[in-house]
Structure 1
Amino acid sequence: MTTALIIGAGQGLSTSLARALHARGHSLILAARDTSDLGGLASETGAALINCDARNRDDMVRLFDTVDTKGPLDVAIYNPSARVRGAVADLDTEAVENAILVTAYGAFLMAHYATKRMQPQGHGALLFTGASAGVKGFANSSAFAMGKFALRGLCQSLARELHPQNIHIGHFVIDGVIAKSTDSEPGNTVLHPDAIAQSYMHFLDQHPSSWAWEIELRPQTERF
């Protein structure tokens, strides 16, 4: 059984992704700084829970050491991001540093350690959750824009490097608000997490002759 890893697991999109990957037969590892609210999801999907701060190199090393005990790593997904709002002259510089580390540097660490596992086996997929802030910078959102632009640049570079090695890179531009609950149909003004997860699964099923590296997802009514 191949392993799927979700970093930054929580309620909402990560829950939908975990359920979708479980349905495909993957053994799951869910990593987050605090996994205390993931017990129900772990019981439902058979997932292992690992406390991990994605900004921390030592934590990520320990996480991937655990991955090695679970079987071949087929899919790794990076969800964390941190947003600091405000005018650039008023921002707390330490908070901005943290936001960039969470949004971009942690993504690099996942790519670094996951690629080391996927290259010898000759296949794998690295998927990253982006945002419209990685395509256009909004006023009073400089920290988030920096982090998400860096994430998008990382993914574009990875795709050019790793696609020829049969490692599929996916950057998902989430343009809109994600519904908080998976239990009801939110309509077409926000993104339903189950629908987003299905787009991730469709991405995994793309034929190598027609691989995308980026998809934009937005509600029908979202202006762009």
Structure 2
Amino acid sequence: MSFLKTCVVAGTGPGNGAAIARAFSKEGFHVALLSRSNTFTSSLASELGNATAITCDLSDEISIAQAAKKIESECPPVEVLVFNAGGASTFRPGTLLDIQPSELIKSISARSMGPLALSQHLLPGMVERKKGSVLFTGATASLRGSANFAFVAIPSFSCKALAESMAREFMPKGIHVSHIVLDGAVESERARQWMPNAGPDDLIQPKDVAANYVMLHNQPRSTWTFELVLRPAVEKW
């Protein structure tokens, strides 16, 4: 198979990130696997074959610029850009009085400032080719701020704001921008620790999340989705 297009997964871990990478690889994409450490992504790149593991810290502009340069020089043209940073690592319930501003700034950087910077490098080429998708992984906290969840909600709101602003500017230029809200716990070792008695319908499955990302990229231009909410059938909402 000849891989003439690239899917960038910014925030590639063993859950949703890996599932999204595998799904787009099966669709014929070369996959650029971005993460702060290449410990996991190197093995995933070997598994996929058609992939490049790239170290990138989305809270560091220099790291982002270096990653973008590597993508543009070593990978086929970018057609899909997935922002999947955050997840369980940012899930820190607690009173906002205890939030450390420096830690919050890092989380905001990874959720919105970093994606903005990487988009500034890669979007121009996508616009020139008049084709592509930018997909943001969001959360329940993207939609509402709750007591004791300010550390999660503030970065999540910033992610949605970036996605919506980008959608309004670039969808008319041929770029499908979508914000995907994961309203529920995602299957993982940590989720199983929280919910040891969870049944098959209680947790969001990464492979099913990935299938929806592929669906969004393949949507007809006459019916583009901006915001998609994914939740288990039994989730209360």
* TM-score category, normalised to shorter length: over 0.9
Aligned: 1:163 with 2:171: yes
Could you tell me how far apart the structure 2 residues matched to 1:62 and 1:14 are? 21
Say whether the 8 Å CA contact 1:84–1:96 is kept in structure 2.
no
Could you tell me how far apart the structure 1 residues matched to 2:62 and 2:54 are? 13
Say whether the 8 Å CA contact 2:35–2:41 is kept in structure 1.
no
Counterpart of 2:212 in structure 1 is 199
Residue 19 of structure 1 is aligned with which of 17, 22, 37? Answer: 22
Note the C-alpha offset of 1:28.
1.0
Note the C-alpha offset of 1:85.
3.0
Aligned: 1:2 with 2:15: no
Counterpart of 1:37 in structure 2 is 40
Could you tell me how far apart the structure 2 residues matched to 1:110 and 1:125 are? 14
SS at match of 2:40: coil
Q: State the one-letter code of the partner of 1:128.
A: F
Q: State the one-letter code of the partner of 1:201.
A: V
Percent identity (aligned): 28
Say whether the 8 Å CA contact 1:170–1:214 is kept in structure 2.
yes
Uncovered stretches (5+) of structure 2, i.e. residues with no partner = 190-198
Q: State the one-letter code of the partner of 2:154.
A: M
Could you tell me how far apart the structure 2 residues matched to 1:68 and 1:37 are? 22
SS at match of 1:25: coil
Cα 1:191–1:51 change in 2 (3 A) is same
Which structure has greater helix proportion?
2
Counterpart of 1:92 in structure 2 is 100
SS at match of 2:8: strand
Note the C-alpha offset of 1:139.
1.2
The residue correspondences of 1:176-187 to structure 2 (distance < 5 A) are 176-180=184-188, 187=200
Moved beyond 4 Å, runs of 4+: none
Counterpart of 1:76 in structure 2 is 81
Could you tell me how far apart the structure 2 residues matched to 1:38 and 1:154 are? 26
Root mean square deviation of aligned Cα = 1.5
Aligned: 1:220 with 2:223: no
Could you tell me how far apart the structure 2 residues matched to 1:90 and 1:18 are? 36
Q: After superposition, what is the alpha-carbon deviation per residue over 1:11-54, rounded to whole angstroms, capped at 9, x for unaligned? A: 01111111111101101110100111233311121211111101
Residue 112 of structure 2 is aligned with which of 104, 126, 132? Answer: 104
Could you tell me how far apart the structure 2 residues matched to 1:119 and 1:103 are? 22
Could you tell me how far apart the structure 2 residues matched to 1:179 and 1:12 are? 8
Could you tell me how far apart the structure 2 residues matched to 1:37 and 1:161 are? 35
Q: After superposition, what is the alpha-carbon deviation per residue over 1:111-163, rounded to whole angstroms, capped at 9, x for unaligned? A: 22221221111111111100010101121111211111111111111111111
Could you tell me how far apart the structure 1 residues matched to 2:7 and 2:13 are? 15
Could you tell me how far apart the structure 2 residues matched to 1:28 and 1:18 are? 6
The residue correspondences of 1:120-139 to structure 2 (distance < 5 A) are 120-139=128-147
Could you tell me how far apart the structure 1 residues matched to 2:139 and 2:222 are? 27
Note the C-alpha offset of 1:169.
0.3
Could you tell me how far apart the structure 1 residues matched to 2:202 and 2:65 are? 40
